[in-house]
């Protein structure tokens, strides 16, 4: 029973086929000979399809090795680029619930003295206050980066209000849309965003492929230097099979988006209802309004039931779930997202994320509802509760 789709979701048949077909070609897309031109054609076709699926122009798609690299390029590249144009712009504004792929480069920039970091607080449901954002953005801001949807709790952020607040001060806005793409209408041009991050393996493409979509003319300082590919913004031999597989998965994910969202909302409702009855000590995180959260994520805080114990016990009966927070050497750290929404460090180590996706069924929901009460009771007993 796989309830960890927010971590990664199974490879689609269309993506596998596209990858295998493209991998039959030998050429490096930058080579001038016929084999290289064939690989280049596959790559550029994929780039155009990725752009079309996400409301961008092909020239605005910078292919990367995944969401982490795209976030790093956005945060470091745009902050350095904007600060180089105007040294007064040192303030980098992010939300307190960003994925580590945004949080860590932002903190790194601050630690080395390149930026003054502002981490916007969130409400108990995990949403930033767009009004507070207005007060945090001004003539000294280099960049605002607020994720479209959160990977742990599933909260959707008010992207339009963020864009509006930043635009008044000429500040570019980046959003990590990695979790949003499968379920929300992620469209670069309609959103008003300047840049957004996407990752293939969250839509049924391969791991290790992603993109930063960045509007033309943005001051984007490269992070990886080398052969000058992708107009020197991101050097490195281009991965034609990966791009082709990403495009195929994205086409399918976008075509299925509305139906999947409705289907998962129904499954989620059943899961939440069952949890309230069977694990009453659990608090379900995130906004109640479906318009403000992803359909597939159920995030729980169960004080006293440490995440690593619950996950181990679920795994022992064949259920794959996660805590939603980073694991180091097998130990779950207190989630910075849970703490930002008001939980203590102790309680923030007692989180479980059940994430539904394309292959999820009623049987998955029934299985986890059967297994969780016992897992929680045993985990609480182990910690003396
Ligand atoms: N951003 C968010 C919100 C994510 O959920 C993830 C993956 O967990 C990433 C970034 C990193 O993407 P990748 O695994 O492609 O590096």
pLDDT at 24 over 70: yes
Q: Which of 9, 68, 74 to mutate to test the pocket of ligand 1 (most atoms within 8 A of CB)?
A: 68
Amino acid 94: pLDDT: 98
CA of 370 to the centre of ligand 1 (A): 30
CA of 343 to the centre of ligand 1 (A): 23
What is the reported pTM? 0.97
Protein residue with its CA nearest to atom 5 in ligand 1: 151
Amino acid 40: pLDDT: 96
Q: Which pLDDT band, with edges at 50, 70 and 90, does 367 fall under?
A: very high
Q: What is the pLDDT of residues 155-203, one digit of tens each?
A: 999 999 999 999 999 999 999 999 999 999 999 999 999 999 999 999 9
Mean pLDDT taken over the chain: 95
Q: Write out the CATH class of domain 13-255.
A: alpha beta
Residue 327 appears among annotated catalytic residues: yes
pLDDT at 285 over 70: yes
More confident residue, 133 or 254: 254
Helices (H), the chain: 13-23, 34-53, 67-72, 78-85, 100-111, 130-136, 159-167, 188-191, 240-278, 307-316, 336-340, 362-382
The residues lining ligand 1, judged by C-beta closer than 6 Å to any ligand atom, are 66-68, 71, 99, 101, 147, 151, 176, 178-179, 199, 201, 210
Q: Which pLDDT band, with edges at 50, 70 and 90, does 328 fall under?
A: low
- For 7, the token pair is 């971590």
Q: Which pLDDT band, with edges at 50, 70 and 90, does 326 fall under?
A: low
Protein residue with its CA nearest to atom 8 in ligand 1: 7
pLDDT (average), residues 356-374: 97
Q: What is the pLDDT of residues 50-88, one digit of tens each?
A: 999 999 999 999 999 999 999 999 999 999 999 999 999
Kindly give the number of the ligand 1 atom that is closest to the alpha carbon of 68.
16
Domain with CATH 3.90.1150.10 in the chain: 257-382
Q: Report the Cα 365 to chain-centroid distance in Å.
A: 24
CA of 152 to the centre of ligand 1 (A): 11
pLDDT at 329 over 60: no
Kindly give the number of the ligand 1 atom that is closest to the alpha carbon of 66.
15
Domain with CATH 3.40.640.10 in the chain: 13-255
**Residue-wise DSSP of 272-308:** HHHHHHH-TTPEEPS-SSGGGB-SSEEEEE-TT--HH
Kindly give the number of the ligand 1 atom that is closest to the alpha carbon of 210.
15
- Measured distance CA(325)–CA(153) in Å, rounded: 10
Amino acid 131: pLDDT: 79
pLDDT (average), residues 285-289: 94
Q: Which of 207-221, 244-258, 317-331 has the lowest mean pLDDT?
A: 317-331
- For 35, the token pair is 């084999």
Catalytic member of 139, 262, 327, 331: 327
- Percentage of the chain beyond pLDDT 90 is 93
CATH 3.90.1150.10 holds for 257-382:
yes
Amino acid 132: pLDDT: 81
Protein residue with its CA nearest to atom 9 in ligand 1: 67
CA of 178 to the centre of ligand 1 (A): 6
CA of 139 to the centre of ligand 1 (A): 30
- Measured distance CA(381)–CA(384) in Å, rounded: 5
Amino acid 327: pLDDT: 58
**Residue with tokens 């059943």, as numbered in its chain:** 270
Kindly give the number of the ligand 1 atom that is closest to the alpha carbon of 71.
10
Q: What is the pLDDT of residues 229-265, one digit of tens each?
A: 999 999 999 999 999 999 999 999 999 999 999 999 9
């Amino acid at each position: 029973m796989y309830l960890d789709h927010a971590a990664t979701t199974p490879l689609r048949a269309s993506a596998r086929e596209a990858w295998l077909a493209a991998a039959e070609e030998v050429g490096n897309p930058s080579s001038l000979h016929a084999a290289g031109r064939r690989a280049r054609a596959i790559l550029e076709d994929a780039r155009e399809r990725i752009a079309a699926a996400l409301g961008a122009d092909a020239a605005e798609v910078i292919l990367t090795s995944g969401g982490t690299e795209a976030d790093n390029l956005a945060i470091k590249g745009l902050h350095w680029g904007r600060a180089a144009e105007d040294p007064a712009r040192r303030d980098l504004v992010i939300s307190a619930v960003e994925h580590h792929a945004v949080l860590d480069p932002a903190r790194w920039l601050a630690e080395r003295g390149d930026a003054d970091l502002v981490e916007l607080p969130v409400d108990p449901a995990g949403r930033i206050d767009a009004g507070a954002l207005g007060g945090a953005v001004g003539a000294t801001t280099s960049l605002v980066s607020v994720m479209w949807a959160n990977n742990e709790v599933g909260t959707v952020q008010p992207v339009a209000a963020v864009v509006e607040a930043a635009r008044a001060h000429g500040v570019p806005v980046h959003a990590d849309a990695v979790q949003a793409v499968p379920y929300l209408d992620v469209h670069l041009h309609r959103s008003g965003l300047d840049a957004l991050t996407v990752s293939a393996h969250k839509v049924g493409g391969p791991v290790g492929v992603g993109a930063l979509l960045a509007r033309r003319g943005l001051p984007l300082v490269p992070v990886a230097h080398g052969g000058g590919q992708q107009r020197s913004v991101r050097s490195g031999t281009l991965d034609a099979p990966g791009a082709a597989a990403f495009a195929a998965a994205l086409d399918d994910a976008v075509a299925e988006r509305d139906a999947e969202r409705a289907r998962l909302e129904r499954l989620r409702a059943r899961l939440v209802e069952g949890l309230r009855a069977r694990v009453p000590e659990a608090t379900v995180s995130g906004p109640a309004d479906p318009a403000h959260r992803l359909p597939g994520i159920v995030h729980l805080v169960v004080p006293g039931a440490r995440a690593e114990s619950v996950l181990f016990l679920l795994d022992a009966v064949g259920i794959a779930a996660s805590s939603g927070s980073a694991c180091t050497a097998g130990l779950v750290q207190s989630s910075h997202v849970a703490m930002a929404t008001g939980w203590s460090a102790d309680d923030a180590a007692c989180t479980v994320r059940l994430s539904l996706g394309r292959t999820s069924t009623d049987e998955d929901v029934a299985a986890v509802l059967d297994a969780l009460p016992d897992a929680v009771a045993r985990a609480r007993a182990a910690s003396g509760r």
